[in-house]
Structure 1
Amino acid sequence: MKIKIIFSTLSFLVLFAVTTIQAQSKTKLAWEKFFQNDRQTSRKLFTQLTTQSTTADEANIGLALLAEMDRPYAEGFGYINKLYKNSANPQPYLFALWGSAAINYNSGRKTPEQLEFLSSLASRKDLDGTLPAMAVSLMGKHYETIKDYGKADQQYGNLGELENWLITGEYENISTSGFDKNYDVLDKPQADAQFKGKNNRQSGWRKVPYLRHDKWFDFSYYNSYHNALQFAQTFVQSPDARIVQLRVGVSGSVKVWVNDQLVLTEAEERNNDLDSYISTIQLHPGYNRVLVQIGESYANRSNFMVRITDEKGQPLTALTTTATPQKYTKETSAATARLQPAAFRYFENKLKQQPDDYLDRLMLAKLYLRQGDIFEARTLMEKLKQEFPQSTYLNSMFIELFSRANNRTGIETLQESILTNDPESALGLELAYSRYVAQQDLVNSEATLKKLEAIYGEDEAIFLKKVNLAGKRKNQQEVIDLIEKAYTLYPNFGTIAGMKYSIERDIRKNPQAIAILQKYIDNNDDYGSAKFVAQLYLDKGEKDAGLNIYQSEIKNDPIGLGIYADLGDQFYKLQSYDKAEKTYLQELDIDPNNSRAYAALGQVYNMMKQKEKSTIAYKKSLLINPNDYDVIESLRRLQDKKPVFDYFIQPDVKALIAAAPTLKDFPDDHVVTLDNEIQKVVYENGGSEEKHIFIAKVLTQKGLESMKEYKIPYNSDQNLNVEIAEVIKASGTKVPAERNQNEVIFTNLEVGDVINLRYKIENYFVGTMASHFWDSFYFNDGLPYVQAKYSLLVHHDKVFKYAFSQQPVPLVKTKKDEFDLYVWQQNNQKALVYEDKMPPMDDVTNKLYISSIPDWQYMSNWYNDIAAAKARSSYEIKSVVNTLFADKPNLDELTKVKLIYKYITNNISYSSVSFRQSGIIPQNPATVINTRIGDCKDVATLFVTMCKEAGITAELALASTRDNGINTLLLPSMEFNHCIAKAIVNGKDYWVELTSNSLPFNTFDNSFIHSNVLEINKTANKLTNFNPTIRGLNTMMYQTVVTLKDADMQIKENNQNTGSAASYLREVFNDLSSTDQLKKMKEQLSHAYPENEIEQLTFGNLNTATATADTVTTSTTYQLLNVIKPVAGLEIFSIPWSNKNGASDLQILAGRKSGIDLTQLFGTDSYDQELILNLPKDKSLVQSYPPVHISNEFVDFNIESSVKDQKLVFKRTFHLKNDFVPQDKVLAFKSFYKQMVDADAQQLALK
């Protein structure tokens, strides 16, 4: 008997083991089919697995996720509910799935089944408190949605969040620049403390009058939160000392101090849920100060919720809070480490045991994604995607991830993948439907819609699509029938209710149509619709009904800042100024930093004839937003001050035209400028605007061609208004120009006509630079001027400097009310005459510089704040750096820097497009990696970020390139046009130019040397004339063998090119086929030797992606035909030097006024050539080649020769020592250069 029992037991264990293995195998197969988009097989397998207790939980999750992809959402919720009711441990899975459509569909309004599920979950005390709290939040949202605010507040009241906050701010946070700074807020908890924030505005601690129903503390209601840091503090009273958990959820970046000890810091701006960050903290008996810092620069939200709980996440009822500052004990013990939420720990532990488990990896990735941990989420998701590259579910998760990272390129790529690989999925069909509709392909739109309806049934979205297509087909009756049916099923869907109203009002002419919308807003928390209905009543003359809606909305949502603004505006329109005043003051009670509300209040007081109050309100508005030019104008009118541009003397266009010169007066010119002037106004608080006036007469057809199109320069932080753009005929007739934004086309333009252009630019600078201004103006250029004038109307308290690049223009300064008017004017200027190889315009013209920026250190600090803050690591940065250095142990720092440089220049293409990029702030480095395009500051910031990730110090530098002038930027400004970077290795600076994929590491074109550079660091207090001690030189070395044969030369040549010389060859030849390379060389050689034959051409290291060295080598064989000429029995020829100096390359005319920019004449730092001339055996030289030795402060040039047997060996060297010849040494250099030309052209004779 005992043997039988043992046998039976063993049999059972074996059967159980086999069954378990089979279940595991089937589960694995179900997930594989799921990820392979075989939803039918996957669903069948998961359905079978629900019958086994060991796999039922996982199967229900799989079925729920499948339902999200191709079934109504309610079906997915059914499986989640089964999981909840039947699982022994549903908590971590529910937590991971909380943001999914299966749980959180139907937006705010929940079904009875959902409410039952949430109510049960909220009552659970055996779970970590986060999950019940989230259930409470969803129930509260449900009741808020249906406008049962009592029940909503009752539910939200169970969250146990900290209340009674004092707030202060705002502080500057453009490009996250404020996060790492220290603020005196930490040291000043007292109620009367004062702080200096944005625009140097004073602020103190203040209470807030209202909170959101859902208990999230939302700074967007209380301050201007964009690009801002804000603080909140409360004082928590504890009856005793205790160890508790601080649980925080945020939108934005966050720091939290408890009793002045930093216990939480997260620089990444995330939008996550409650309890996302958990820390263990010590509460002292009595009061404990909790201080929260929230930052926003790209999160588009700014809020938080703080809960203090026990170790199970349950709120502590023994704690109370007060906003009144209290004495507290500063924390001196060491801060404890952060805790992961329970669900994270659960899946992380499981994956340590089963690292390849599909469900655990998917759940953990969802947790990371929901919490905003992009790097961690993507790490897991990428590994899954490597196994299942075409998975629609994974692609949809990646779309969510890329949406959070603002990676539009990644999203579009994934959408195309879904359309290609899984077109019949719900997401694929949705994408296809949108594309067909955009293409007006109604046949395919209709067919795709039928497939979507088969998946979802006639839900709200399907009805809207049907109505859309019926409308495009102009089938009115079908539209009506569809809306009627949809409204019967979905009366609480706002769009459908609006369509039903339109039918009743516009088609059936039902006078009671508004009742449909009234019913909707009575049952739905939808302020946008309520505002629309209110306006309908007001338009009908039912004033009380319309205003009552606004007042009801305020009662329901007293924090609703926008409602007060809208109601105040309505009172203003109705001329109920006392009520408008009261409403705007209520708005300001919530947000006292609301410039718009102060401006509106100024208008109200003006209408009420309360001039003093109106003035104060307008001034407060401008203190907050100095760039509101409408308010500036309103305030000036109120103060009986004339319009600011009336202070300037306006040009008399008729008089200028009547006295205009003719071609006879300017026979060498094509256009004459009658008036070129700027009228700039700078206000007290920092706003500035300017008018540009340009009046010019066309003298010749060439002048007409140059002036018929005009592009007005302005950027994204400016507003352009073209006031006049016209052609004035000789008869006085005016022909308006055609315009497209800043592009002006002067049509019907003829020789002798005058162009009259006047436009105004309003500047909208923000942040630290908002209170400053800078400008520049040319007093002469390539056109002759009748009048050039710069006028500056600046508030008399505004401190600024000005300087001229050459001769100062006389200044006339006058006082104009609160302004000082500065006028610089110069008349009858001749055009600057172009001279060969002259310096850039800015070095030869007389240019006025104006700036209020204190110094270059101020500029460097400012840009360091906004740009260096972008250099934060991310998933993309870590992944790329790790890949670059993988399997390369013991790399030194310089090698790492070179690898980073090579990655960027080979993988990121240069692109500068205004709608994608800011003119100042770099893109996020991760975005640059994902899109593979960026401008100079984007790739430079990427370089700095990758270096930092590799542990290498790196910095940015702004540059004004040499073609903008060397002797320029006399005063601090933002007039830079380029950005470079450097890595610091072993105390040495290695500079890099990152916009070229052909330049070798640490090299620059000669035309960039001596550019003006501002290093972006904490010590840069001046511009640097860029000429680094460590840089790769631009050189060419040639080894040439020339054999004379009859009238031809047979040439074999090898050369080595470094720096920009290597770059040139790569740019010209790299993308050409071998055949086209030969053609290109023949074409280039033909300029000097029209008759030639190219026989062979090969390159080394031409392609940077595969190059093993920075030096580009060339090996070529070619013939120069008919270059040896018979003269009087002799054979005459010249040496075929590479880089031969030509007389036409430098034209120096008498009376030259400018120096010579030698970078336009010589493209390299040096070149060396060894040339061996093989003489025919029966020939000899008539005379030897004379040696050449030219040396001066600018160049060294030498040619030496020797004869051995029948070989004539030449050594020719050139070295550029100084790349600019001043005007007083031009004639001497001309003589030197002529000697070089003559030496290169020296002819030899054979006999």
Structure 2
Amino acid sequence: MRFYRLLLVAFVFSATCSQAQENKKIDSYWQLLLKNQRQEAQVKFQKKNKGSLPDILTNEIIANENGKFTAADGFIENVISQPDFEYYLYALWNQSFFFDSYLSTGFNRKNISNINDIPLDRIKNATVKESLRYLKSAVAQHSDDWGTYDQLNNAIPAIKAWQFCGSFENLNGSGLATEYAPEKNVTSTTDFNANSNGFVNWYDQRGREKDAYQYYSNHSEYGGGVNYAQTFITNPTAKKAVVRLGSSSFARMWLNDVLIYENTNDGITDMDAYNVLVNLPSGNNRLLVKSADQSGISYFIVRITDEEGNVFNDLKYNAAPSAYKKSSIEAIAPKELPHSVEDFFQNKLKQNPNNFFNTVCLVSAYLRNSKFNEAKETLQPWVDAYPESSFLRKYLIECYTKEKDYTSAKELQKNIESDDERYYLSYIYRFEDSRELFKLPLPEFEEFVEEFAASTDMDILKKSAQLLLNIRQEDKSAVKETLKTITEDYKDQLSVLKVYLNIYSAYLNEDDKAIKILEEIDDTYFDYGALKSLAGFYNKQDRKKEALALFEKRYNLVD
């Protein structure tokens, strides 16, 4: 009897999955991809590729899923010649064929070239244009070009005149809901009680007047905390305005003591992630931003525009406190507006709900601004239809990681490894767990490296796997040779170099080699992590004056 029950359950589950898939009338190549039949998906897609912008990008997505990351010649120029390309660029910003996940992997020849190859004047959408302008400034900073960095930052139409106050205690994440004195006190002759963080007051931060993003880096010694920033806006005539916020944490904004927005999503976002339409009164106005960060260095960026994203030329911003008239919720009438890129793809999906490419774009746009709940909700019908899809699981892993649900993310990662062994990400996940890899017998380890190398066309991954094998074989001569190849052929891959330099120091006992590479990095780029590592090596060799000089040179440049 129990056998028949199990058979019935299996039949119902199978029928449900079949019905779910039947209800999702998507192109056959997407169906194949979601069934982990990646090579077949690529073959099927090539027969239908008509060269439209969605086709150009779909081609790259499917290629990436097959472990192929070398984009065709002229890819960027082809993309930016297409209508509405900026919406797709913003959504797929962190795909390897555009800019990759530079926040974690850093800049390199490929993504720097892509960033520089897109002219700002080709972009109409203000949010996308200013996001790219800031990214270009980050590349300039990375390249140690501080003049260009300042020029680009200065051109971003964000509020740059601020007073700051903090950090206040954020015990167990309760700080956002806790009212601290700066919320009602524009100035104070006595310092505010920040509880366990001592006493603080409003202050001006000199030397940052050109920076679009405002970082609480000088508050980092307190760890996670509550920080405030205020600016005063002079407006000659009452007008409708959109206040646009990007932040790294929970946040609240007040206009003339009226709460106009509260972000209860603890995640890193880009500029203009949240947009609020308000009635901006004439005269002087106080804008207050509260950030409640639980870890890391908090930041925010605020821009004020009209509803089309155009900057008002008649608004004046001043950090110095001045009198303002308190408003009411009825007078300000705050109304949250959708993000322009999210809105673009939501409308696309309303017109064609089964267009899976637009679903991918919408999910990616959500995740750019850590809107993991919206992303999961959009993915769920597809997960129900294709529960073992590695492609979908990959996006869910990103959702859970941004949600800080690392247990669920790890569980999905293990599911990919067990259900889809030949997927390139399965090899990367195993490669990252080097402790488990080193438990394998040597023949199995060698087999893994061979399969890993065959799963992708990314040479740096092939060389990295080879380096791990050399270490497993305890062949120091081969380790030196592979390291030499990596450090000479991939000098632009700083995130990789900084990791592998430890092998020179800890495994080969060649500190001088590590120092030479770090000195070359410091001469060519601005990389604070590399600078600190170099200073550490100098201190180790009792070269304290040289270590101090590294920081002095950089501080002089920043000031």
Shorter-normalised TM range: 0.7 to 0.9
Q: Give the TM-score normalised by structure 2.
A: 0.85
Deviations 1:1187-1221 (A, max 9, x none): xxxxxxxxxxxxxxxxxxxxxxxxxxxxxxxxxxx
Q: Counterparts in 2 of 1:215-230, with a 5 A limit?
A: 215-222=212-219, 224=221, 226-230=223-227
C-alpha distance in structure 1 between counterparts of 2:550 and 2:289, whole Å:
36
Distance 1:68 1:390, change over 3 A: same
Deviations 1:523-568 (A, max 9, x none): 122223223323444454544433211212323445xxxxxxxxxx
SS in 2 for 1:91: helix
- Pick the aligned partner of 2:92 from 90, 97, 112: 97
Superposition deviation, residue 455 in structure 1: 4.1
SS in 1 for 2:175: coil
SS in 1 for 2:321: coil
Query: Is the contact made by 2:277 and 2:337 (CA closer than 8 Å) also made in structure 1?
Result: yes
Q: What is aligned with 2:80?
A: 84
Distance 1:184 1:533, change over 3 A: closer
Distance 1:183 1:500, change over 3 A: closer
C-alpha distance in structure 2 between counterparts of 1:420 and 1:545, whole Å:
50
- Pick the aligned partner of 2:358 from 349, 357, 360: 360
Gaps of 5+ in 1: 1-24, 559-1247
Superposition deviation, residue 192 in structure 1: 3.8
Distance 1:193 1:67, change over 3 A: farther
Query: Is the contact made by 1:63 and 1:79 (CA closer than 8 Å) also made in structure 2?
Result: no
Q: What is aligned with 2:37?
A: 38
Superposition deviation, residue 251 in structure 1: 0.9
Distance 1:444 1:211, change over 3 A: farther
Distance 1:200 1:110, change over 3 A: closer
Query: Is the contact made by 1:255 and 1:264 (CA closer than 8 Å) also made in structure 2?
Result: yes
Query: Is the contact made by 2:137 and 2:150 (CA closer than 8 Å) also made in structure 1?
Result: yes
Q: What is aligned with 2:4?
A: none
C-alpha distance in structure 2 between counterparts of 1:507 and 1:122, whole Å:
47
C-alpha distance in structure 2 between counterparts of 1:75 and 1:410, whole Å:
32
Q: Counterparts in 2 of 1:1031-1110, with a 5 A limit?
A: none
> Is 1:232 equivalent to 2:232 in the alignment?
no
- Pick the aligned partner of 1:350 from 339, 348, 351: 348
Query: Is the contact made by 2:76 and 2:118 (CA closer than 8 Å) also made in structure 1?
Result: no
> Is 1:547 equivalent to 2:548 in the alignment?
yes
Matched residue type, 1:360: N
Query: Is the contact made by 2:99 and 2:115 (CA closer than 8 Å) also made in structure 1?
Result: no
Q: What is aligned with 1:1193?
A: none
Q: What is aligned with 2:278?
A: 281
C-alpha distance in structure 2 between counterparts of 1:280 and 1:99, whole Å:
29
Q: Counterparts in 2 of 1:696-735, with a 5 A limit?
A: none
> Is 1:49 equivalent to 2:44 in the alignment?
no
Distance 1:407 1:78, change over 3 A: farther
SS in 1 for 2:161: coil
C-alpha distance in structure 2 between counterparts of 1:213 and 1:108, whole Å:
23
Q: What is aligned with 2:134?
A: 137
Distance 1:184 1:113, change over 3 A: closer
Matched residue type, 1:122: L
Q: What is aligned with 1:463?
A: 463
- Pick the aligned partner of 1:389 from 379, 387, 390: 387
C-alpha distance in structure 2 between counterparts of 1:39 and 1:79, whole Å:
22
C-alpha distance in structure 2 between counterparts of 1:385 and 1:187, whole Å:
47
Q: What is aligned with 1:491?
A: 491
Superposition deviation, residue 512 in structure 1: 8.2
> Is 1:28 equivalent to 2:27 in the alignment?
yes
C-alpha distance in structure 2 between counterparts of 1:205 and 1:351, whole Å:
47
Q: What is aligned with 2:155?
A: 158
User: Highest Rg: 1 or 2?
Assistant: 1
C-alpha distance in structure 1 between counterparts of 2:485 and 2:131, whole Å:
35
C-alpha distance in structure 2 between counterparts of 1:323 and 1:123, whole Å:
31
Q: What is aligned with 1:204?
A: 201
Matched residue type, 1:303: Y
- Pick the aligned partner of 2:326 from 303, 326, 330: 330
SS in 1 for 2:200: strand
Q: Give the TM-score normalised by structure 1.
A: 0.40
- Pick the aligned partner of 2:60 from 57, 64, 83: 64
Q: Counterparts in 2 of 1:191-590, with a 5 A limit?
A: 192=189, 194-199=191-196, 201-211=198-208, 215-222=212-219, 224=221, 226-297=223-294, 300-332=296-328, 333-434=331-432, 437-457=437-457, 459-494=459-494, 495-496=496-497, 514-557=515-558
C-alpha distance in structure 2 between counterparts of 1:233 and 1:500, whole Å:
43
Distance 1:289 1:374, change over 3 A: same
C-alpha distance in structure 2 between counterparts of 1:76 and 1:313, whole Å:
34
Query: Is the contact made by 1:527 and 1:553 (CA closer than 8 Å) also made in structure 2?
Result: no
Distance 1:454 1:78, change over 3 A: farther
Distance 1:411 1:78, change over 3 A: farther
Distance 1:377 1:116, change over 3 A: closer
C-alpha distance in structure 1 between counterparts of 2:191 and 2:386, whole Å:
58
Superposition deviation, residue 375 in structure 1: 2.0
Distance 1:26 1:341, change over 3 A: closer
Deviations 1:841-875 (A, max 9, x none): xxxxxxxxxxxxxxxxxxxxxxxxxxxxxxxxxxx
Deviations 1:758-810 (A, max 9, x none): xxxxxxxxxxxxxxxxxxxxxxxxxxxxxxxxxxxxxxxxxxxxxxxxxxxxx
C-alpha distance in structure 1 between counterparts of 2:422 and 2:209, whole Å:
42
C-alpha distance in structure 2 between counterparts of 1:540 and 1:416, whole Å:
43
C-alpha distance in structure 2 between counterparts of 1:124 and 1:549, whole Å:
40
C-alpha distance in structure 1 between counterparts of 2:119 and 2:222, whole Å:
35
Greater length-normalized contact order (CA 8 Å, ≥ 6 residues apart):
2
Superposition deviation, residue 41 in structure 1: 2.2
Query: Is the contact made by 1:237 and 1:320 (CA closer than 8 Å) also made in structure 2?
Result: yes
Superposition deviation, residue 162 in structure 1: 0.7
SS in 2 for 1:419: helix
Query: Is the contact made by 2:133 and 2:156 (CA closer than 8 Å) also made in structure 1?
Result: yes
Instruction: Select the structure that is richer in helix.
Output: 2
- Pick the aligned partner of 1:149 from 128, 146, 150: 146
Query: Is the contact made by 1:242 and 1:283 (CA closer than 8 Å) also made in structure 2?
Result: yes
C-alpha distance in structure 2 between counterparts of 1:432 and 1:266, whole Å:
36
C-alpha distance in structure 2 between counterparts of 1:181 and 1:300, whole Å:
20
